[in-house]
Amino acid sequence: MPKGKQSHRVVVVGAGFAGLSAVQALANAPVEVILIDRHNYHLFQPLLYQVATAALTPAEIAAPIRKILRNQKNVTIFMDEVCGVSPTDKSVTTSSGREFSYDTLVLATGARHGYFGNSAWEQHAPGLKTIDDAFELRMRILSAFEKAEAAETTEMRQALLTFIVVGGGPTGVEMAGAIAELSHSMARDFRRIDSTSARIILIEGGDRVLPTFRRKLSESARKALVSLGVDVRTDARVTDIGDCRVTIADKDVRAGTVIWAAGVQASPAATWLGVDTGRSGHVQVGKDLRVEGFDDVYAIGDTAAHIPDGADQPLPGVAPVAKQMGAYVGTRISKYVQGKSTVSNFEYKNFGSMATIGRNRAIAELGALSFRGLVGWLLWGIVHIYFLVGFRNRLILMLNWLWAYVTWQRGVRLITGESAYQPKKHVTKID
Amino acid sequence: MPKGKQSHRVVVVGAGFAGLSAVQALANAPVEVILIDRHNYHLFQPLLYQVATAALTPAEIAAPIRKILRNQKNVTIFMDEVCGVSPTDKSVTTSSGREFSYDTLVLATGARHGYFGNSAWEQHAPGLKTIDDAFELRMRILSAFEKAEAAETTEMRQALLTFIVVGGGPTGVEMAGAIAELSHSMARDFRRIDSTSARIILIEGGDRVLPTFRRKLSESARKALVSLGVDVRTDARVTDIGDCRVTIADKDVRAGTVIWAAGVQASPAATWLGVDTGRSGHVQVGKDLRVEGFDDVYAIGDTAAHIPDGADQPLPGVAPVAKQMGAYVGTRISKYVQGKSTVSNFEYKNFGSMATIGRNRAIAELGALSFRGLVGWLLWGIVHIYFLVGFRNRLILMLNWLWAYVTWQRGVRLITGESAYQPKKHVTKID
pLDDT tens digits along A42-95: 998 988 999 999 988 888 888 899 999 999 999 999 999 999 999 999 999 999
Please provide the size of chain B in residues: 431
pLDDT at B419 over 70: no
pLDDT of residue A73: 96
Per-residue pLDDT of B295-321, as tens digits, reads 999 999 999 999 999 888 899 999 999
Phi, psi dihedral angles at B32 (to 5 degrees):
-105, 125
**Cross-chain CB nearest to A37 (options B66, B399, B431):** B431
Most confident range (mean pLDDT) of A250-254, A312-316, B389-393 is A250-254
Per-residue pLDDT of A322-337, as tens digits, reads 999 999 999 999 999 9
Active site residue B174: yes
The answer to whether the CB atoms of B110 and A431 lie below 8 A apart is yes
State the complex-level ipTM. 0.89
A74, A31 contact by CB (below 8 A): yes
Rounded distance, CA B175 to CA B169, Å?
A: 10
The answer to whether the CB atoms of B431 and A39 lie below 8 A apart is yes
The answer to whether the CB atoms of B191 and A76 lie below 8 A apart is yes
The answer to whether the CB atoms of B407 and A413 lie below 8 A apart is no
The answer to whether the CB atoms of A414 and B131 lie below 8 A apart is yes
Chain A positions touching B191 (Cβ under 8 A) are 73, 75-77
In a mutational test of the A interface, the residue from B405, B414, B422 whose CB has the highest number of chain A CBs within 10 Å is B414
pLDDT of residue B140: 96
pLDDT of residue B411: 65
Catalytic residue among A60, A136, A174, A204: A174
- Taking Cα atoms as reference points, which of A253, A333, A313, A231 lies closest to residue A19? A333
Which H helix or E strand runs over A421? none
pLDDT of residue A423: 39
- Does B372 contact chain A (CB < 8 Å)? no
Beta bridge partners of B112: B265
> Which residue type, as a one-letter code, is found at position A225?
L
A264, A302 contact by CB (below 8 A): yes
Distances, alpha carbon A355 to alpha carbons A175, A185, A218, B365, B426, in Å: 11, 21, 10, 54, 32
**Cross-chain CB nearest to A424 (options B149, B190, B424):** B424
Rounded distance, CA B282 to CA A243, Å?
A: 42
> Which residue type, as a one-letter code, is found at position A230?
V
B391, B34 contact by CB (below 8 A): no
Distances, alpha carbon A110 to alpha carbons A2, A205, A304, B13, in Å: 26, 24, 8, 45
Mean per-residue pLDDT over chain B, rounded? 89
Chain B positions touching A393 (Cβ under 8 A) are 411
Chain A positions touching B146 (Cβ under 8 A) are 40, 79
pLDDT at A181 over 90: yes
Smallest CA–CA distance, residue A44 to chain B, in Å, is 13
The answer to whether the CB atoms of B38 and A64 lie below 8 A apart is no
Catalytic residue among B32, B174, B181, B204: B174
pLDDT at B332 over 50: yes
pLDDT of residue B173: 96
B102 three-state secondary structure: coil
A352, A213 contact by CB (below 8 A): no
Query: What average pLDDT does range B243-259 have in this prediction?
Result: 94
The answer to whether the CB atoms of B392 and A399 lie below 8 A apart is no
pLDDT of residue A279: 75
Higher pLDDT, A266 or B159: B159
Query: What average pLDDT does range A277-293 have in this prediction?
Result: 89
> Which residue type, as a one-letter code, is found at position A23?
V
pLDDT of residue B396: 67
Query: What average pLDDT does range B14-35 have in this prediction?
Result: 97
Residues 161-200 of A with CB under 8 A from B: 186, 188-192
pLDDT at A407 over 70: no
What burial letters (b/e) apply to B293-311, b meaning 16+ CB within 10 Å?
A: ebeebbbbbbbbbbeeeee
In a mutational test of the A interface, the residue from B79, B264, B416 whose CB has the highest number of chain A CBs within 10 Å is B416
Chain B positions touching A81 (Cβ under 8 A) are 429, 431
Chain A positions touching B400 (Cβ under 8 A) are 396
Query: What average pLDDT does range A277-295 have in this prediction?
Result: 90
Rounded distance, CA A337 to CA A424, Å?
A: 50
- Taking Cα atoms as reference points, which of B164, B125, B160 lies closest to residue B242? B125
**Cross-chain CB nearest to A411 (options B59, B131, B189):** B59
Phi, psi dihedral angles at A172 (to 5 degrees):
-65, -45
Chain B positions touching A79 (Cβ under 8 A) are 143, 146, 150, 415
Rounded distance, CA B49 to CA A37, Å?
A: 27
Query: How many CB atoms are located within 10 Å of the residue A359 CB?
Result: 17
What burial letters (b/e) apply to B43-54, b meaning 16+ CB within 10 Å?
A: bbbbbbbbbbbb
- Does B351 contact chain A (CB < 8 Å)? no
Query: How many CB atoms are located within 10 Å of the residue A115 CB?
Result: 19
Query: What average pLDDT does range B134-139 have in this prediction?
Result: 95
Q: Which positions ≥6 away from A4 have C-beta within 8 Å?
A: A32
Q: Is B105 exposed, middle or buried (0-12, 13-18, 19+ CB in 10 A)?
A: buried
Query: What average pLDDT does range A225-245 have in this prediction?
Result: 95
Q: Which positions ≥6 away from A375 have C-beta within 8 Å?
A: none
In a mutational test of the B interface, the residue from A48, A50, A96, A416 whose CB has the highest number of chain B CBs within 10 Å is A416
The answer to whether the CB atoms of B431 and A57 lie below 8 A apart is no
Task: Decide the pairing of beta strands A361-366 and B31-37.
Answer: unpaired
- Does A406 contact chain B (CB < 8 Å)? no
Per-residue pLDDT of A88-115, as tens digits, reads 999 999 999 999 999 999 999 999 888 9
